[in-house]
Amino acid sequence: MLTSGGDAPGMNTALRAIGFVAAEKGIEVIAFERGWDGLIDGKAFPLTRPSPSAPRGLLPMREVDRFGTLGGSFIGSGRSQRFFEALYRSKAGERARELGIDGLIVIGGNGSLEGAYRLHTETGLAVVGVPASIDNDIGCTGMAIGVDTALNTIVEACDRISDTARAHRRAFIVEVMGRQSGYLCMAGAVAACADAALFREAGKSEEEIVGWVVNVIQQAFGDERDKERVLILKAEGVSIPTSELVSRVQRQVEQHLPDIEIRSCVLGHLVRGGAPSFFDRMIASRLGFAALQALLDGAKSEMVAWQAPIPGGLPTGDRSVTRWPLERVIEESKALLDGTSPVVQARIRLMEAVAKVLAL
């Protein structure tokens, strides 16, 4: 196993599930440190240990249980520049053969899953991916590990910001992660009772964004509505920087509402951390179980998905989990990011429909 790319709350839970299920089935499991670099360099440690008292002769390592409920990744994660080169992917395959590895489970996002696909096609190693990305930008899965916890963190932060905003009758623009996908911004805005959501997929120009925000703030603080606070969520992928957006909006708003201050808050990597929520622990456990079972069933290049938003996929023993060819996952992921996927188009239509509702 390995975790790759950005960390996501629930990765450790998936590792725990795989380690425990593997031990129960008598399958030895090792974990590579810090993603693909660990595989290339052969830096690994066991997640199962021999035990004469165990039914199948194996028990999970104590660390697997100890870190299973924590955020981050206790085996380390990261992005490997070396793995982009065919030479090092070949070395990774050689290392896997040297270690007698029959299959590799990769827990991570789009780049990690594409890396897994390339490793299989170039070396023949059987791979199964587990989607883990707080941006929820992975194709063929309705939810990725880490999304729910990230949203809970965003909502809690926005609730706290709203408290101080109401006390001083201010407007806040809160930037959340999502360089290419605005899912966190969209879902977070609805859940946090925000007045507007700004995301890259809307395709608005900087002038249109500034004009929309100015209009929302002026109407909210006008005599008729007289709101106590304005909360606007902005995805980091929106072209205009948050600081510049605040400055431009402030200059226009103060012409009509000189007493209204506009502040910004960039949540950044705060959103990545924290212990996983119940939902993330549940899907991480069930996806981890399904990933191991997929390898045992002979999967060669697949990803396990949670409640796929598009038809297709192979069924599993878990009715919420399906198996998808990695090639299809990569294709759908690219469509999510370039806006051609019906999934992201439906998200945009929904947000356009509720935009005026949020601003009331």
User: What are the sequence ranges of the domains in the chain?
Assistant: 2-146+276-338, 149-273
Residues 6+ apart with CB under 8 A from 9: 71, 72, 134, 145, 146, 149, 150, 272, 273, 274, 275, 276, 277, 280
Per residue of the chain (360 residues), what is the pLDDT tens digit?
999 999 999 999 999 999 999 999 999 999 999 999 999 999 999 999 999 999 999 999 998 989 999 999 999 998 999 999 999 999 999 999 999 999 999 999 999 999 999 999 999 999 999 999 999 999 999 999 999 999 999 999 999 999 999 999 999 999 999 999 999 999 999 999 999 999 999 999 999 999 999 999 999 999 899 999 999 999 999 999 999 999 999 999 999 999 999 999 999 999 999 999 999 999 999 999 999 999 999 999 999 999 999 999 999 999 999 999 999 999 999 999 999 999 999 999 999 999 999 998
CA distances to 186, 200, 213, 268, 274 from 344, in Å: 11, 12, 23, 23, 27
CA distances to 9, 152, 180, 271, 280 from 274, in Å: 7, 10, 23, 8, 12
Q: What positions carry a catalytic annotation? A: 135
Q: What is the pLDDT of residue 273?
A: 94
Q: Is-same-fold flag (2-146+276-338; 149-273)?
A: yes
H-helix or E-strand containing 129? strand 126-131
Q: What is the pLDDT of residue 223?
A: 87
Q: Which residue in the block uniquely carries the two structure tokens 């440690």?
A: 45
Q: Which residues pair with 324 in a beta bridge?
A: 303
Q: What is the pTM of this model?
A: 0.95
Q: What is the pLDDT of residue 198?
A: 98
- Count of beta carbons in the 10 Å neighbourhood of residue 198: 25
Q: What is the pLDDT of residue 360?
A: 86
Residue 191 CB burial class (10 angstroms; 0-12, 13-18, ≥19): middle
Q: What is the pLDDT of residue 127?
A: 98
* 45: three-class secondary structure by DSSP: strand
Pick from 4, 17, 2, 3: which is nearest to 282 by CA?
Answer: 17
Instruction: Could you please state the CATH topology (level 3) that the domain comprising 149-273 is classified under.
Output: Rossmann fold (3.40.50)
For domain 2-146+276-338, the question of CATH label 3.40.190.10 is answered with: no
Q: What is the pLDDT of residue 76?
A: 96
